[in-house]
Structure 1
Amino acid sequence: MPIVQKLYDTCKASLSPEGPISEEALEKVRIILAELKPSNVGLEQEAQLVRGWKGSLNGTNGKKWRNGSYHYPPSIKYIHLHMEIFCRSPGSVIPLHNHPGMTVLSKLLITCKVICWVYSGFDDPSQARPAKLMKDCLMSAPCNTTVLHPSKGGNIHCFKALTPSALFDILSPPYSSEDGRHCSYFRKSTRKDLPGVEHDQLSGVKPSEITWSEEI
């Protein structure tokens, strides 16, 4: 059975409109997703382009051919297979955004390096919200599948591609404005602290570990 069909069938059995039916079911999806390769989703040509990549964020972001011309990948290409794939060119950014009430499985299919900022937000009604930086790292494919949970592990994050890249996402449950699961974007606030926010509201996180973010 093709791995994409196997992944789809496992998702159908393991994920519900409310999210994963159990941790065991979620683990079954994660294991199959970990086996996914660019060739399984029609991205082998793009993968070959990355293998010969000579571009740089400080220079020309393209592959130079023998005739001196450059080949440029599209900025961001989106492929929908009941799940979603983001194909991105160097320097492209998926901005800081959230997944309210959602479990997110992500598999990096094509890349050399990607910066991943993962924040764990706190429940605060003010415009600027306290968040702790959970991860700031470079990721290289092939790598393990990452899992973001609704209330732990960092649910607000952004990705910046340093080379051509492809990211395969499974969202459970999916975005739904009618059900209160709409995507919000954030940016770092210039505020260092806000009046009215007590230390005990920060769930034990030290003030020095807090980054303030605001919805845009």
Structure 2
Amino acid sequence: MTATLLGGCSDPESSSRTLPTASTSTTPGASSPPVLDCGTQTQSQGERLSEKAADCLLGALAADKAARLQHTFLTVEGDPITRTYRSLTSGRVEVTTDNTQDSFGSEGVVSEICIGPREVVTVIDFAVCEDRHTVEARARNAAIGMRPAVPSPCAADWDAVMKQSRLAIARPDLVGLNLADVRELAKGPGPVFRRFRILGKDDDCGAAVNDDYQSKRINVLLVKNKVAWAYNF
């Protein structure tokens, strides 16, 4: 097995915040908890996110309450990007970023689950964010008692290749997921091989691999159709 690759989070900060007065809304249905509305903001180029709006969301997060904040900011080229934050339980925030009007962007709408809010400038920065579908798939697997795949016999060779690359990104968050779940994560425009590759399956480590680099392509090794090893490159 040969391959050629192109060469080349800190701890969350905590602070005490005072929850400002904000309106609340409820989703239809008596059992739905109230959702704190922290507002909708449109920022001019280079403008900071409102401190009051950020404190509203982060205060609700600290109190383990539901809250929502949406704001639109501009790229350097002047294109609008809309980001929506929704506080969940256990210190988690769902962050949905709509890049569809960004002329130089290619990610469309991206949804992540984030923890550890750090600084607030143009947007709220987090210590760790994961793709929402990955988080949901892992929780689903755990709920039905699925365990991570056993180590792949192909992993040692590929680990050696990864050490030679400065661009490959490890994806331990994908280990243990079903093949179908990872294929779903890799969906998108363009040829499949630019977004997803199986480098080895069970004890078959002889997959032919071209040397083009794709930063968002998911590469996996499978054992019994479950991901045992994963990298982006």
Q: Same fold (TM over 0.5)?
A: no
Interval containing the TM-score (normalised by the shorter chain): under 0.3
Which protein is bigger by CA-based radius of gyration?
A: 2
Give the structure-2-normalised TM-score. Answer: 0.22
Structure having greater relative contact order (Cα 8 Å, sep ≥ 6): 1
Higher strand share: 1
